[in-house]
């Protein structure tokens, strides 16, 4: 995948979301740290706001309370009349849209970094939702080169079956960051360090971009889902197999 022209307008407002899933603790830890001392994420001329997206789920250390916050930022849910009868995450989505949006408007934040963990052995992974977004392709290339020799992968999710209304989709540029393997409800120091470096390099890229640095055309390798393979199941629909030890690396 290659990049050519990059956006001309400077980046002014950036948010860093942690706790979209309350049991993915690296983003929660980092955002809470930056809320107390945000010196390392500040860049000249740039507003950077760390934010806990799902505080109730974080408090319970669970993925969500009523429904997945990372699936409800669609026009239907964002447009519902606010009511206590709505699922908590739908109400929270409307609050977040008010703070960082409105979605698809000129007033929305320029970039949202949404921090996630996975139990999968994905290492450092950047999630790209649009293969034609030259600005993000350049940013991802910069992050990959800065992290080397530590591998950093790019996961492309623009296939129609993978589209959903993510928390980060409010922003003009949506960036998912996923680092693993890490069990849910657990912190690993190495995983935390890797995610912290990814954010540092991303903010450095934005600073360089705003300062007028030119970025030559580049190419990045991306991964995308070709098909989904389910576990073997018995007649009751229960999983009837486990991952082979040679594939279960961590």
- Residues known to be catalytic: 178
What are the structure tokens assigned to 120, written together?
Answer: 């999968």
195 exposed, middle or buried (CB, 10 Å; 0-12, 13-18, 19+)?
Answer: buried
Rounded Cα distance between 199 and 216, Å, is 22
**Angle CA 88–116–72, to nearest 5:** 35
Contact 217, 2 (CB under 8 A): yes
What is residue 125's three-state secondary structure? strand
> What does 65-91 look like in DSSP terms, one character per residue?
SSS-GGG--SHHHHTSPP-TTS-HHHH
């Amino acid at each position: 995948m290659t990049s050519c022209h990059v956006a001309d307008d400077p980046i002014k407002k950036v948010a860093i979301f942690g706790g979209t899933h309350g049991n993915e603790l690296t983003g929660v830890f980092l955002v809470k740290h930056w809320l107390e001392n945000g010196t390392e994420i500040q860049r000249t001329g740039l507003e950077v706001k760390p934010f806990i997206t799902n505080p109730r789920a974080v408090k319970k250390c669970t993925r969500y309370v009523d429904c997945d916050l990372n699936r409800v930022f669609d026009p239907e849910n964002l447009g519902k009349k606010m009511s206590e009868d709505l699922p908590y995450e739908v109400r929270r989505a409307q609050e977040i849209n008010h703070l960082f949006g409105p979605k698809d408007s000129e007033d929305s934040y320029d970039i949202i970094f949404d921090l996630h963990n996975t139990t999968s052995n994905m290492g450092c992974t950047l999630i790209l939702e649009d293969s034609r977004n030259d600005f993000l392709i350049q940013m991802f290339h910069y992050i990959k080169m800065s992290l080397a020799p530590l591998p950093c992968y790019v996961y492309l999710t623009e296939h129609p079956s993978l589209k959903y209304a993510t928390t980060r989709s409010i922003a003009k540029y949506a960036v998912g960051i996923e680092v693993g393997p890490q069990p849910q409800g657990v912190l690993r120091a190495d995983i935390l360090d890797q995610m912290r470096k990814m954010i540092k390099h991303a903010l450095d890229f934005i600073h360089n971009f705003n300062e007028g640095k030119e970025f030559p055309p580049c190419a990045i390798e991306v991964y995308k889902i070709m098909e989904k393979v389910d576990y073997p199941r018995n007649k009751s629909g229960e999983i009837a197999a486990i991952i082979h030890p040679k594939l279960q690396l961590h």
